[in-house]
Amino acid sequence: MAARGKRMPVSVARLDPLAVDRTGVTLGVPGELPWAAERRRSGLDPYDLIWVMPAKGAVALSELELIERIASQVRTRPGVVVGIGDDAAVLEGDPAMVATQDLLVEDVHFRRSTAGFADLGHKALAVSLSDLAAMGAKAVAALVGLGLPAGDALDDADIGQLYSGMEALAARFGVSVAGGDLTAAPALVLSVTALGRLPTGCAAVRRDGARPGDVLCTTGVIGGAGVGLSALDDPAAIDGVPESMVDAAILRHRRPEPRLTEGELLRDGGATAMMDISDGLGIDALRLARASGVTIEIDLGALPLHPSVEPITASLGRDPALAALAGGEDYELLVCLPKEEVSVLATGLTAGLTAIGGVVEGRPDVRLTRGGDAVRTAELGYLHDV
């Protein structure tokens, strides 16, 4: 439920004034700080969207560790079926209600130079709806919190654009923007709480239900948003790539499509575990493996790559499958299914469904293969070598 998005190198100094809380910890996004490399070498998680550094200490906590710390401090009381640790919370009841929140913060998750206000409105809602999709829920409403920088170049038209992008997406899925809050803020902040519902008699699909023997699948195509961000970051590096390919990738980055219809079909089709791919297939698969207590195998050769991934990674000199694995912001659904259900579901999903691996018994981990051979994953750091 934490904010998810492509990590950007942001200096701690940039964030310090925003992020020193009353307990004296400093929130930062030091994706490129020495701690990140150190933790990767140690085989620790690089969940470096949010790190907490004790004010006088040198040990950085990852987002996962911070979530665990918070989860140990608060109690899940009667009335809540699924609490902290999944894509969304589920409230007891029949039908059950599902709720999730995502934050988009300027210069952490987006830059105004590379995304228009209509894009931001779309994306802020889309990423929250994607978490409802990951539970197999139907979206109903959204509450929108907006922090606006004072004395900035923002005007009425910008806010109008923001809500037009959001409303266009809301209308397509029958979602109502039903409330929210406005405040002045040191940076542009968008917080969307999405509320959804499961059909009567239906349980949510959680992350922790994967079983050995399940087939691992993804909806749609992956890697497009990641290479789209690379294209925005360094246009010169992709000089020879056809413009249509670059535009398609950037569109994936700016306008993710929540897979709500697919989520419901997969729920009804017997999905044992599901989550959305927000931070990258590799790290999200590891989260699912940990929640379920299983080993997940991914065949890099089977990944359904967005058509822009090959030309852009060729230009950047990167491996296309590894780029897609690490890219993030795909907002496709990563789902575990009983073997016999896969082919039927694959024909019924508009976005498409591709088997990319499987679930086996073993310690919670992700193993990568290509053409049957194990792939060493040192270049990704956060996945253990196989």
Whether 146 contacts 181, CB under 8 Å: yes
**Paired tokens of 328:** 């993030």
> Which letter does DSSP use for residue 128 in this model?
H
CB of 42: closest distance to Mg ion in angstroms? 26
Which residue lies nearer to Mg ion by CB, 86 or 214?
86
Smaller CB separation from Mg ion, 87 or 297: 87
Alpha-helix residue ranges (DSSP H) falling in the chain = 12-19, 34-41, 63-73, 117-134, 156-172, 224-233, 243-254, 260-268, 281-292, 309-316, 320-327, 342-348
Residue showing the smallest CB distance to Mg ion in the complex? 87
Give the nearer residue to Mg ion in terms of CB position, either 63 or 276: 276
Dist CA 311 CA 307 (whole Å): 8
Task: State the Cα–Cα distance between residues 206 and 211, nearest whole angstrom.
Answer: 12
For Mg ion, the closer CB: 100 or 313? 100
State in angstroms the smallest separation of the CB of 247 from Mg ion.
Answer: 27
What whole-number distance in Å separates Cα of residue 98 and Cα of residue 136? 10
Nearer to Mg ion, 35 or 331 (CB): 331
Q: Nearest CA to 102 among 232, 226, 276?
A: 276
384: Cβ contacts below 8 Å, ≥ 6 apart: 43, 365, 366, 377
Given a contact cutoff of 8 angstroms between Cβ atoms, the answer to whether 338 and 331 are in contact is no
- Closest to Mg ion by CB, 83 vs 149, is 83
- Between 33 and 273, CB nearer to Mg ion: 273
CB nearer to Mg ion: pick between 87 and 310 = 87
Instruction: Determine the 3-state secondary structure of 215 from DSSP.
Output: strand
Pairing of strands 215-219, 333-337: antiparallel
385 within 8 A of 306, measured Cβ to Cβ? no
Nearest-approach distance from CB 282 to Mg ion, in angstroms: 15
Phi, psi angle pair for 82, to nearest 5° = -125, 120
Indicate left, alpha or beta for 189 from its phi (over 0: left) and psi (-120 to 50: alpha): beta
Place of tokens 């822009």: 308
3-state secondary structure 153-167: CCCHHHHHHHHHHHH
Question: Shortest distance, CB of residue 88 to Mg ion, whole angstroms?
Answer: 8
* Least distance between Mg ion and beta carbon 135 (Å): 9
Closer to Mg ion by Cβ: residue 264 or 276: 276
Residue type at 366 in one-letter notation:
V
CB of 241 to Mg ion, least distance (A): 30
Least CB distance to Mg ion at residue 327 (A): 15
For the CB of residue 100, give the shortest distance to Mg ion in the complex, in Å. Answer: 8
CB nearer Mg ion, residue 214 or residue 276: 276
CA atoms within 13 A on the CB side of 131: 29
Grouping H, G, I as helix, E, B as strand and the rest as coil, residue 79 is: coil
- Minimum CB separation of residue 359 from Mg ion in Å reads 19
Give least dist CB 113 to Mg ion, A: 27
Work out the number of other CB atoms within 10 angstroms of the CB of residue 125.
Answer: 28
Binding site for Mg ion (CB under 5 A): 87, 131, 276, 278
